[in-house]
Structure formats: C-alpha cells, structure tokens
Amino acid sequence: MEVDTAHSSRPLAGAAAAAWAACANGVLLVDADAAGLPILAVNPAFCRLHRSTETGLVGASALLLGDSGPDNPLAAALRSAAAGGATESLLLRAGPGAPLCRWTISVAPAGPDAPRQLVCVVDDVTELHEQQALLAHLSTHDALTGLANRALFNERLQAAMAQAQATGGGVAVLCLALDGFNLVSESLGYVAADQLLISVAMRVQACMRAQDTLSRHGGNEFVLVLADVADSAQVHAVCEHIVRVIGAPFPVIGQSLHAGCSIGIARYPQDAGDGVTLLRYADMALSHARGLGGNQLRFFAAEMNQRTAERAQMEAALRIALIEGQLQLQYQPVADLQAGAICALEALVRWQHPVMGLIPAGRFIPLAEAAGLTIALGYWSLQRAMEDMAAWRSAGLPPVRVAINISPKQFRDAALPQAVADALASSGIAPAQLSLEITEAALMQDPLASDATLAQLKALGVGLTLDDFGTGYSSLNHLKRFPLDLVKIDCGLTGNIVTGADDAALVKTIISMAHHLGIEVAAEGVETEAQCDFLRRNMCDQVQGWFFSKPCDRDQVAGMLAARHALPPHLLRIQKQPRTLLLVDDEQNIVSALKRLLRRDGYQILSANSGQEGLDVLAANEVDVIVSDQRMPGMIGADFLRAAKNLYPDTIRIMLSGYTELQSVTDAVNEGAIFKFLTKPWDDDQLRTHITEAFRLKEIANDNERLNLELRTANHELAAANRRMEDVLRQKQQQITRDEISLNVARELLQFVPLAVIGLDDEGMVAFVNDAAERMFRQNGAILGNEAQIVLPELFPDGLAPSGSHQVDIDGRCFQVVAHPMGANSQSRGSLIIISVCEETA
C-alpha cells in the first residue's frame, strides 16, 4: 500500500505491507509537524472500526475524528502528543456509529527522510466493555428477575436508614415468601416456577414507589425496603395491597396458577438499629406468618425474638441430652380387643432435663426436626428398645411387640434397613417382635423409594404400621400399594367417635376397608370406656390410650406383663353379657316393688329416679331392657325413651305408667321409641312375660351381632392370610427372578472359562456344555440333552459315571477329569465335570 507522497516519506512494501494489512488492531499514522495533524496512513482494520474508507481518511485532519465540539478528548490528546507531551491511552469512539475503542497514542521518532509522526493503535473493546458491564450488573442484581440482589439490598437499606435518621422518618423491611411454591416446582417443573417468580417480581415492583427497593435473596423469597414510611398503618396498607395483587391468577405455561404469599415486617428504628438485625427480625416475623397457614402478614414483636432464643437454647440442650443420656423411653401398652391382653407397646421418647424436669415430646420433637436430629433420635430409640426387650426376655416375661416411630427423614435414610438388621442381630430379638410406625406423608414424599425401603424392611420380617391414618392422604390406594400389617387411626378421629356422627362413620369406613385388605386396625387416643366399646362393636382390633394404660417406664411395663394386665371382659369383641334391666321411675316405692318382683328372674337390675339420671346410667352401663314411667319431673318418659333410642338404639324400651296422655305416647310408639306400653297397676305375670319377651328379642339381636362379628373376624383373618400368602408369593417370585439372573450370569461365565466344562443332571443327562467342551468333542455330534455315557464315552473308560478325579486319553492327549457333585452349598443336583490337560512331569 502506498501513502500520499505529499504527506509521507515513502510507501510500505514487502513484508511490512503484508503485516500492515493483516494487523488486527486499527493503526493510524498522523503527521505531527503539519498544521491540522493530517492523517498519513490507515490500515484496513482502522477503516473497519471507523466505518470509513482509506480514501476518505488519508489527508483529512485527525482532529476531526471522535466527538465533535470543543471538548473532543481525542483532538486534545493528539495536540498534546504532537507538542511533545506524554503519550496517552483513552477510551472513546472514532466517530458516530463506531465501536468503543481504546486509543494508544505515541510519537514515532523522526528520521532524516521522514516527518515526525503520531502512531495511534486502536483496539475494539466493545464486547469486553459489555461483558464488564454485565458482570457489574450481575454483581448487584438477580440474574432471573433483574431485581436487586443481597449486596445492592444492603446498600439501599443503609442509605434508607441514613436518610431516616437524618429526617426523623422510618424504614420498613418486608420478607415475602410465596405459599405453595414447592408444589408448583415439583408438579410443573422449574420452567414454570421461574416464570411464576418473574411474574411475581413484576407485580410487586408495580406496587412500589421510586424510593423503595425490591430484591430477591434466592428461592421464592423476596425482601423489600420501604423508605420514608410514616407509621405502621402505611406499611400495613402496602402489604395488604401486595397480598391482593399476588392473589390474582398467574398465566404460566398455558395454565392459570394461584399463589398466595406470607409477609414478615420489621421497622427501623422501632425494632432494630442496624440492617442485619432488622432483616433477621423480618425473617422471624415471616416464619410466624407462614406458621399461621399462609396468606398472612405479621409485624415483628419482641416475644418472637425471645422464643427464638429459647428455641436455640433448647436445641443446644437437646444435643447435649443425646450425648449425656438424658433421654429415656416410655412405653404405652396396646390392648387386643379379642383377648384383652397387652399385644404391643409403642415406644415414646421422653427428655428428663436436669433442671426443667420431664419435657414432653410435643415440645422437643419439633426442635429435633428443625435441628436435623430426628435420625440420631430414631436410631437411639431403636437401640434402647432392643435393650429393654432383651431385659424383659431375660426376666422370663412373655414376648411383646414393640413399635418404634420412624421420622420422615429417618425413613429416607438409606442406612435404615441395615441399621434395623444390625439391631435385631445384636440383640437376638425376633424380627416379628419389632414394628416400625411410618406416617402416610413420609411414604408419599417419594413413593418409588418408599416401595424399595419397605420391601427391604419387610424382607427382614419386621412389622410395618401406617401411623396417624385419617389425618393426611387417607387413600385406599396407598393401603393397597404398600405392604402394611397394621393401620393406626389417629386420635383426632377417635376422640369424637361417640359424639360425632361424621368421625364415627369415618372410623367405621377405615376399619372396613383395612380389614378387606387383610390389614389390622388399631385406634389411638382411646380415653373412655364408651370409645372402647364403640371400637369393640365395630371390629377394631386394638386400642391404645389412657383408658387402658398411660405411658410407663421399663420396670412398670415389666410389672404389667407379669400381672397380665388386660381389658375388662365386657369390653372384648365377642362376649355374652349378663341380662341387665334399667328401671326408671320417680316413685321409689314403685322401683322397690318392681325389683322384688323381677329379682327372681335373675336380672341385673339398675334404677334411676328421673329421665336425666336414666341417661347417666345408660352412659355408664350396658343395658338390655328399659322400663320407664311416663310422668316424671324434668323429662317425661316418652322424651326419655326417645333420647335412649337415639343414643342406644340396641336397647328394648317399655313404658309402664298410670298416666295415659295419648298423644306423646302414641308419637313415641310410632317413632319406634317404645316397644310396649303397659299401665299401672300392672299384672305381675303379664309384666314378667313382656319383660322376658323383650330380653328374648334383645338376645336374638345380640346373637346376630355376635355371629356377624365372628363372621367378620373370620373374613378378616382370611383376608390377612391371603395378604400374607401374596407377600410370600411375591417374595418367591422375586427370588426366582434373582436365581434366574444368577444362573444366566453363571452360564455366561462358564462359557468363557478356557477349561472344558460339562454339567450333568441327577440322571446323567448332559444339561450344559461350554464353548471349550463343544470344541473338544465336536466330532461326537450333538451332546446337549443326551445321556453322557453314550455321547461322551471318552469320559467313562470303565463304563461308570465319573466321580472324584481320573485321567483319560482323548485324541492321543492326556486329560484330567474332575467331577464335582452338586448340592453341598445349594439346592442344585447332578454334577459338574471339568476337563483339563494333564500337567507334564519331568
């Protein structure tokens, strides 16, 4: 390339011209001595950067490059360098639309034949500058939503607090979390979750003023700084507006999603004087808001900090308790409703604190879950229960099943099956004496993993119990899917079965569907005889609660087992009750006369002097027949018998009265509340006959109920036997599958053994031939499936089946034949023959 001869000493040529053209950086040569600093030469790279041509640039003044106007930094730098000033490096654009470039200006020394020149090297730094700007933005902003991140949040918070201190105003920090966000992420995927977060950020940002800051600190949590707030009412109004805005549906991947939010609020300077504490307090308030069920907002209160500090102290004390042996096990007995005896014990962890005394589980178990101690607590409980069971066995007490509660975290621990196996092996306790109680929620966190874990535990022979049934999913499909032995009805249902029709119906349904699947049912929280009797009559198998026994320590349990503590006979599932008659009359002489008349018939006679007293007697006793007067103070006989029918429909009800007001009596008869209506004075023989008939009808009903219970019990036992048989068949099928896989592996392995291997069944037929044996006896034709003595005569020199080891000659070579009889370490039969070349001897 040649330079204008009016301004340049000589053209570039040869290698210099090639280097000039190929240089990646733009290069500009300027005449430093000429007025106007004309351009002497430009290389192609500079032309591309300047968006111009060589013709349009060479000869023009370099002072016209860059920004126009008197403050052109490039013109100033060029003049300074031409006047002998220091060389400079500056960042600017060479012209409108040109990329951002770094200019390095230096003065080339003048030669005898060349003018003094300014050399400008121009490097395009647009992409680098953009990357640096992006990194600078990402250092202060969230990559997903574009909101401020934690660093910029802290900076804005400090600025807002400084302004509030100067003006006497206030600042509010809001921690906001979406309710149910994890469900969206798990069900629809991370793309939908990200879209939801972006939409939430846009909606909340629209609720804020210019001086406020919205930031995202990760996950689904946002933090807001409300600057220059006057009072709590203003903050409350903003929060309520945000809750309403987020409550509107979000269009996400073609679906309409609803998302609520919880907000925790802390204020400056009322709650804290520094940003770190302010944020921590807002987060505490958020935790309390979320604990209320979602879509709530809570201002920080000093009590929250106190409770948090107490919780931290308790958590530290719990860690020490695990190390120093402050924990203990108590056992609550479970009664069998058929036999009445103790059939199981539930192990309950208790904390005997050296200062605070006995701490209930409801107080420290949530602490253990939050602190990640439930796995350690679970394994401690398992080991301690094994030790106590071994102690009872050494004392000669009858064996009893012990149930251990397994937390969701412990259930997800891959080491659980092996830990249970090790505990059983070290203690010598039979697996059937151990039961593991698992909640339905724990099973449903990962159903496929739950299947695998339950299968491993079931293979050990331990019992599997579904705990707290009725409070979670309560799905029949889950009962069918998992290999459960027992279902425990939650105490929340049991407590209302006598007074609540809905809970009673639910409990009956749970018992029925579990029995249909061959699963036993236990009820927790049984506190009264009436509850126990309801469960007895509705085929429940076991009861647990304070009515039978409160939780006991190891020694108390030993005493109960030795004394054979049991339910009273009248609460057993199948029984024959004594004939019980209730006489209700406000005249004592009438009651006495009836007792004298009816005592000879062998009835157990109870009495009451009013309708209300009669209901109290019915609540405490099993009654077959009721004889009531009509005219009594407080409650007439018809109303009493009507109430008795509703509460105790199995009773037979007779009215005996000298007062014959027909309307109320007729209504009661028509409603079925009265079986017979007899008048006073009565005929002794007639009255005895009617009462005898009433007892006969009641006993027929009792017999039908007892037969129904026996039939249902038999059906339940049959269903349980079928379930056990299905488990056995499933295990056998799994074993067959594993054996087939092992056999195929063994056959494939033997194919690649360099020695000839032949397998014979117990009748001498060839059942297996590997590749080496087939090659050795190729001339013998088909071998597999034929009698070995016929197709392989070489192996039988004496005509006998090979046993032990001997040598044979095959095709002039000596071979060692070794026969291994099968069955010593397996159920296989027949023999395995291995043929190898005889070792040569010197």
What is the average per-residue pLDDT within 463-471? Answer: 84
Give the residue with greater pLDDT, 532 vs 188.
Answer: 532
> Hey, which of 273-277, 293-297, 700-704 has the most confident mean pLDDT?
273-277
Of 796, 791, 818, the C-alpha closest to 809 is 796
Q: Of 372-376, 461-465, 503-507, 768-772, which gets the smallest average pLDDT?
A: 372-376
What is the average per-residue pLDDT within 10-25? Answer: 71
Which helix (H) or strand (E) covers residue 269, if one does?
A: none
Identify whether 417 is preceded by a cis peptide bond (ω within 30 of 0): no
Q: Which residue in the block uniquely carries the two structure tokens 């860059």?
A: 66
* Strands laid side by side in the 88-93 sheet: 39-42, 26-31, 117-124, 100-108, 88-93
CA–CA gap between residue 360 and residue 354 (Å, rounded): 14
| 261 in Cβ contact with 246 (< 8 Å) | yes
| 404 in Cβ contact with 437 (< 8 Å) | yes
pLDDT in tens, 144-202: 888 888 888 888 899 999 999 888 889 999 999 888 787 777 667 778 888 888 888 89
Q: Of 470-479, 481-490, 539-548, 631-640, which gets the smallest average pLDDT?
A: 470-479
Q: How is 663-679 classified by DSSP, letter by letter?
A: HHHHHHHHTT--SEEEE
178: Cα within 13 Å, side-chain hemisphere: 29
| 651 in Cβ contact with 619 (< 8 Å) | no
The reported pLDDT for the residue numbered 6 is 42
The reported pLDDT for the residue numbered 8 is 45
Q: Of 420-434, 526-540, 567-581, 695-709, which gets the smallest average pLDDT?
A: 695-709
Give the residue with greater pLDDT, 618 vs 294.
Answer: 618
Q: Of 286-290, 609-613, 836-840, which gets the smallest average pLDDT?
A: 836-840
The reported pLDDT for the residue numbered 2 is 38
Token duo for residue 468: 């707290």
Task: Give the chain's domains with CATH numbers.
Answer: 15-131 (3.30.450.20), 145-300 (3.30.70.270), 335-343+375-562 (3.20.20.450), 580-705 (3.40.50.2300), 752-837 (3.30.450.20)
Residue 767 pLDDT greater than 60, yes or no = yes
112 pLDDT band, cuts 50/70/90, is: low
Residue 111 pLDDT greater than 90, yes or no = no
803 pLDDT band, cuts 50/70/90, is: low
* pTM of the predicted model as reported, rounded to 2 decimal places: 0.49
CA–CA gap between residue 419 and residue 430 (Å, rounded): 15
Non-local (6+) Cβ contacts of 212 within 8 A are 224, 225, 226, 227
Give the residue with greater pLDDT, 478 vs 690.
Answer: 690
What is the average per-residue pLDDT within 662-667? Answer: 65
The reported pLDDT for the residue numbered 662 is 62
Residue 79 pLDDT greater than 50, yes or no = yes
Cβ burial 49-69 (10 Å sphere, 16+ → b, else e): bbebeeeebbebbbbebbeee
The helix/strand count (H/E) of the chain reads as 29, 31
Beta pairing partners, 329: 349
* Strands laid side by side in the 221-229 sheet: 213-216, 221-229, 170-179, 260-268, 297-299
pLDDT in tens, 319-336: 776 676 677 889 999 999
The reported pLDDT for the residue numbered 9 is 42
The reported pLDDT for the residue numbered 404 is 93
Residue 842 pLDDT greater than 50, yes or no = no
User: What is the separation of C-alpha 819 from the centre of its chain, rounded to a whole number of angstroms?
Assistant: 56
CA–CA gap between residue 395 and residue 397 (Å, rounded): 6
Q: Of 134-143, 186-195, 207-216, which gets the smallest average pLDDT?
A: 134-143
* Segments in 189-225 forming alpha helices (H): 190-206
Give the residue with greater pLDDT, 532 vs 576.
Answer: 532
Q: What are phi and psi of 343, to 5 degrees?
A: -110, -15
Give the residue with greater pLDDT, 267 vs 99.
Answer: 267
CA–CA gap between residue 261 and residue 295 (Å, rounded): 5
627 pLDDT band, cuts 50/70/90, is: very high
| 61 in Cβ contact with 38 (< 8 Å) | yes
Residue 77 pLDDT greater than 90, yes or no = no
Cβ burial 246-255 (10 Å sphere, 16+ → b, else e): beeebebeee
The reported pLDDT for the residue numbered 549 is 94
pLDDT in tens, 587-614: 999 999 999 888 888 888 999 999 999 9
pLDDT in tens, 87-100: 667 777 756 667 77
| 84 in Cβ contact with 110 (< 8 Å) | no
Residue 4 pLDDT greater than 50, yes or no = no
Q: Of 90-99, 117-126, 529-538, which gets the smallest average pLDDT?
A: 90-99
Which helix (H) or strand (E) covers residue 734, if one does?
A: helix 684-751
Q: How is 506-528 classified by DSSP, letter by letter?
A: HHHHHHHHHHHTT-EEEES---S
The reported pLDDT for the residue numbered 301 is 77
Torsion of CA 238, 239, 243, 245, to 10 degrees: 20
The reported pLDDT for the residue numbered 147 is 87
Residue 7 pLDDT greater than 50, yes or no = no
Average pLDDT in the chain: 82
pLDDT in tens, 370-390: 666 778 888 888 999 999 999
